[in-house]
């Protein structure tokens, strides 16, 4: 459920937004992890007909119920219709046409443009800027950004910018436990959340995440014993996770992080994924994990830059495999 009361951390930003629900600015940029969840909570509060004394959405009025069901006519969540990123045509069809008509039922018409999730092309931003320069008084535009630097300066200058801080790991796990999640599952979701409560909740409600995690870690465990040809086949297998590639990279990065930490310190108390302690210790006997992490970082940058997906994951896995082979060869020579 989207509500300010469901948000932990970033209290100053939440309080600032509550103070503006009666007279909102025409445009906002939310920058950082958890921005998507906060944007929906703000949008819901703006449209709520019976806000509580704390200026949060009531969750009971017609507007709130329609918002949660995805049927509020005055809330538009902009999505790419035909391409991976939000493009110029998406802005024309969903934003410009939508903004041209007054709200159907409520005081405001609220648009969320999720750059962090879908991307937001320069062409689309240019088209959007024309509406932003002379916005209808009933429109509120919220841009969710992975990094506000990815947006045109002329857009950012016309918006109120909030930069969210990552939420403490323990705060997230405690929050999930209070939500009824078993402690082990709560810790696991918090580990992969990247400091974002919204991301943690998404993982908690995704029954396929644990299966994907098991599959990815199994692939990483087997990598060192594979041939180059088998590595390329493994890369091909990753195509089924293309839409969740950031989760895949997070899983891989955390695996190698734990291996690297144990390889360097020998201290198992520093391992984050405690359910995999024995496997991580065995992996640390074979390779260090450091170059493998660098390979994942490079792959993430290339994917963010829309470089060919299959080529990127092939190169990543081959670099990981090469690093593991070099480690074993070095240790044999050293001994």
User: Does pTM surpass 0.75?
Assistant: yes
* Residue in this structure with the two tokens 């909030």, named with its chain if needed: 162
Closest to 275 measured CA to CA, from 295, 249, 255? 255
Which pLDDT tens digit goes with each residue over 131-186?
A: 999 999 999 999 999 888 889 999 999 999 999 988 888 889 998 998 888 888 88
Using DSSP, state whether 212 is helix, strand or coil. Answer: helix
* Structure tokens, 101: 């008509």
Residue 326's pLDDT band (boundaries 50, 70, 90)?
low
User: From CA 190, how far away is CA 199, in angstroms rounded?
Assistant: 9
Is the domain 4-165 a CATH 3.40.50.300 member?
Answer: yes
Question: Which residues neighbour 307 within 8 Å (Cβ) at sequence distance 6 or greater?
Answer: none
pLDDT at 1: 66
Which pLDDT tens digit goes with each residue over 257-275?
A: 999 999 999 999 999 888 8
Q: For 128-159, give the DSSP string.
A: HHHHHHS--TTEEEEEEES-GGGS-HHHHTTS
Are 318 and 228 contacting, i.e. CB atoms less than 8 angstroms apart?
yes
């Amino acid at each position: 459920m989207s509500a300010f009361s469901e948000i932990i951390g970033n209290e100053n930003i939440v309080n600032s937004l509550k103070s503006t629900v009666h007279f909102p600015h025409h445009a906002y940029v939310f920058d950082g992890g958890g921005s998507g969840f906060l944007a929906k909570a703000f949008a819901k509060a703006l449209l709520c007909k019976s806000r509580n004394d704390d200026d949060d959405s009531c969750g009971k009025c017609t507007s709130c119920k329609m918002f949660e069901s995805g049927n509020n006519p005055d809330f538009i969540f902009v999505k790419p219709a035909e391409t991976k990123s939000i493009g110029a045509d998406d802005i024309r069809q969903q934003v410009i046409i939508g903004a041209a008509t007054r709200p159907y039922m409520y005081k405001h018409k609220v648009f969320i443009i999720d750059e962090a999730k879908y991307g937001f092309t320069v062409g689309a931003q240019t088209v959007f800027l024309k509406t932003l320069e002379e916005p209808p008084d009933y429109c509120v535009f919220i841009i969710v950004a992975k990094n506000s630097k990815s947006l045109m300066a002329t857009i950012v200058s016309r918006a109120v910018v909030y930069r969210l801080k990552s939420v403490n790991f323990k705060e997230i796990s405690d929050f999930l436990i209070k939500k009824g999640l078993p402690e082990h599952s709560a810790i696991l979701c918090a580990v992969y959340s990247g400091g974002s409560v919204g991301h943690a909740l998404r993982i908690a409600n995704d029954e396929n995440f644990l299966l994907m995690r098991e599959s990815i870690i199994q692939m990483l465990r087997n990598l060192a014993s594979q041939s180059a040809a088998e590595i390329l086949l493994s890369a091909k297998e990753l195509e089924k996770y293309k839409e969740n590639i950031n989760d895949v990279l997070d899983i891989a990065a955390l695996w190698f992080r734990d291996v690297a930490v144990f390889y360097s310190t020998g201290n198992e108390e520093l391992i984050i994924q405690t359910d995999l302690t024995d496997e991580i210790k065995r992996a640390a006997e074979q390779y260090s994990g450091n170059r493998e992490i660098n390979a994942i970082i490079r792959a993430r940058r290339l994917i963010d830059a829309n470089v060919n997906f299959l080529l990127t994951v092939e190169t990543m896995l081959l670099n990981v495999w090469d690093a593991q082979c070099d480690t074993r060869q070095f240790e044999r020579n050293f001994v």
